[in-house]
Structure 1
């Protein structure tokens, strides 16, 4: 359902204006990729369109956009500049999580909302570490929170911290140094003493996302800036709806990349007229059939993501649990589509002056996001086998 109105405080997201936003981001995406940087101006554009705050809860004066609208936003942003889209996704997911289950302390939340109403405010949860990797596969963080008076002091390192140098709030997952360690998110403001962003990001794709390392050397955190501190196993466990937001939102982002690649391919096939043929490549049945395969796969993946997102919004039983499978299908469709486009046009697809080369590098990043294919397929296989009794 499209959000059309919002209480005072935050504008409704301009969903009808998404094509213009896509075009504006796409016009600068190659430069951002080359320079491996994102300017704040991109997020000022999104903030002005109400897209950065689309998921702020209605009780806070926000539009309260659900997953279906978020999927629509991230697909459009992914088609324009997936690095911008990925940084935006982390902020949208943070507001959405707070809307579903309030967990931010009142003081920091008031700061976040007041600032977000005035200007672009970017937030991300920093959870991945050099030794642990992603915590989704288990384990405790090495980042440590030590008691210092009424507050805490954080020491550790986080890697793959998307948008690190642009973030206003860093939700640092850490364990306390208590006899029985508790884990939780410590809300750290950018510019805090002891906080350093190390520019180590040198990646094949999503170069402008600047997913750099963050080092914390005795970073002070006031006592009222901790969310969800609990003993391992007492934190409520897995959140299927939160997982669905992550899976479907990021899948939509990469389907946006694939859609942009397809659109470039269509234009190229109409324009490319080999002298020996005397007609555009688009006139050949071989290319028409190949484009039909790409179009069919992407249309099916888009429809799956949209329908499942709407089902999650509606609270349909089992919908959230199906999101991991949709991510596998959707991201595979996106990657295959771009790879097929490159195969169709040959050297043109791997030439840096053409965007298809960048789309290929970016879409390959779909594989690294949680949940990864092996985890999804293992869980699905075990569940299926568990439904049938041995003969």
Structure 2
């Protein structure tokens, strides 16, 4: 289903038909962003003007209410243009989508978020990963601690891999209370709060402009009305299942966008490259035609898998959300393999910074680090298969 008419004047319907132009605009600046390892706000002003940054705002709030299928379409297009912009955008889209499914923002902060988002780009991300804990998906309590201070709370802790940290307006900080039986939840922190600092440590191989820096919280005050629901660890597994589906398929689509951009560059290169000994473009050789065919078939299958399963999740089909981990694995492997094959085909041309293929390779490799990671997906799938035929 395409979202086209349900938005209010405050939240225009996302201009899905204009995605190719957005992709081209982002691609024109992507190399510079990668080189400088930073993103200007102008990129997000472009997305905000096209209704893409608020596409998943709930219809009850006057938003478009885009589902996972349309979100995957958006992120694939943004990933083809600049995956760093796409990743920062994904975090905001996922936040609005989570609120649309299960309201968890307190009324006051939600009103602020929506009012500001209608007027300008407002970026949000959930900060969960920590130096000692790693990703909380594998279990454990956060070391970031929330302590009662009067009617509110005080946060102290250290978050890492905080995508877009220096651009964020709202930080959803996952923390544990210091109660006798600790509860966990998201504490809504505004950028610029006292005690909040961003440490610019991000220096990775790929997605350099995403600025997934460290965030330090030193007795950051959080008013009592800026706290999401607090629960004992492990509660509300159904919510996490649907959220995991959005994360897995949305990011798979993003990296398929990177692979699509690499393929498109390869096609142009093979048509243009005419070795003197051959006297014809490389595109005329059956060996290159077959190799391109393998890339094309693999990416087309992965695109179709992601799109079909995203539509199934939107439709509430039983078991669809549980299949998304495997789909993410297959899709990201297809994306990585496609870019690696493209590099192998063109040799040194694929590894020089004069061409974008080396950047696409660095960026697409980041697909492996996102939750759910391959080992977790395969372990769960293997156990489920073995349980189906367990001797009685």
What interval of TM-score do these two structures reach, taking the shorter chain for normalisation?
over 0.9
Structure 1 distance, partners of 2:282, 2:377, is 39
Q: Give the Cα separation in 1 of the matches to 2:177 and 2:6.
A: 43
Deviation larger for 184-193 or 172-181: 172-181
**In structure 2, what is the Cα distance between the partners aligned to 1:40 and 1:233?**
37
| SS of match in other structure, 2:78 | helix
- Alpha-carbon offset, residue 4 of structure 1: 3.7
Equivalent residues of 2:6, 2:63 under 8 A apart: no
SS at match of 2:125: strand
Q: CA deviation at 1:240?
A: 1.5
Equivalences, count = 390
- Structure 2 distance, partners of 1:85, 1:38, is 11
1:375 shift after superposition: 0.2
Partner of 1:129: 130
* Deviation at residue 236 of structure 1 after TM alignment: 4.7
2:325 aligned with 1:324? yes
Query: Partners of 2:77 and 2:238 in 1: how far apart?
Result: 32
Check whether the contact 1:228–1:235 (CA below 8 A) recurs between aligned residues: no
* In structure 2, C-alpha distance between the alignment counterparts of 1:302 and 1:346, rounded to whole Å: 27
Q: Which moved more, 1:276-285 or 1:231-240?
A: 231-240
1:276-330 deviation per Cα after TM superposition (whole angstroms, max 9, x unaligned)? 0000000000000000000000000000000000010001111111000000000
Tell me, yes or no, if the aligned pair for 2:249 and 2:306 is still in contact at 8 Å: yes
Measured in 2, the distance between the counterparts of 1:55 and 1:343 equals 39
Could you list the structure 1 runs, at least 4 aligned residues long, displaced by more than 6 angstroms after superposition.
Answer: none
CA displacement, residues 191-218 of structure 1 (integer Å, 9 cap, x when unaligned):
0000000000000000000000000000
Q: Say whether 1:235 aligns with 2:239.
A: no
Q: Does 1:248 align with 2:241?
A: no
How far 1:235 moved relative to its partner? 4.3
Contact 2:6 2:59 in 1 (8 A): no
Task: Find the aligned partners of 2:332 and 2:103 in 1 and give their Cα distance.
Answer: 31
Normalised TM-score (structure 2): 0.98
TM superposition shift of 1:233? 3.2
SS at match of 1:230: coil
What's the C-alpha RMSD, in Å, of the aligned pairs? 0.9
Residue 77 of structure 2 corresponds to 76
Q: How far apart, CA to CA, are the structure 1 residues paired with 2:214 and 2:382?
A: 35
Farther off after superposition, 88-97 or 228-237 = 228-237
Match of 1:190 in 2: 191
The question of whether the paired residues in 1 share the 8 Å contact of 2:312 and 2:320 is answered with yes
Aligned-pair CA distance for 1:230: 1.3
Superposed displacement of residue 232, structure 1: 1.7
CA distance in 2, matches of 1:262, 1:48: 29
8 Å Cα contact 1:3-1:65 kept in structure 2: no
Give the Cα–Cα distance (whole angstroms) in 2 for the partners of residues 38 and 353 of structure 1: 21
What is the TM-score of this pair, normalised by structure 1? 0.98
- Which is further off, 87-96 or 381-390? 381-390
**2: distance between equivalents of 1:358 and 1:389?**
47
| CA distance in 2 between partners of 1:220 and 1:208 (Å) | 30
In structure 2, the CA distance between the partners of 1:238 and 1:136, relative to structure 1 (3 Å rule), is farther
Kindly indicate whether the alpha-carbon contact (under 8 Å) linking 2:10 and 2:119 is maintained by their aligned counterparts in 1: no
Please report how far the alpha carbon of residue 178 of structure 1 lies from its aligned counterpart in structure 2 after TM superposition.
1.1
Cα 1:238–1:4 shift into 2, 3 Å: closer
Give CA deviations for 1:256-279 in whole Å, capped at 9, x if unaligned. Answer: 000000000000000000000000
- Secondary structure of the structure 1 residue equivalent to 2:362: helix
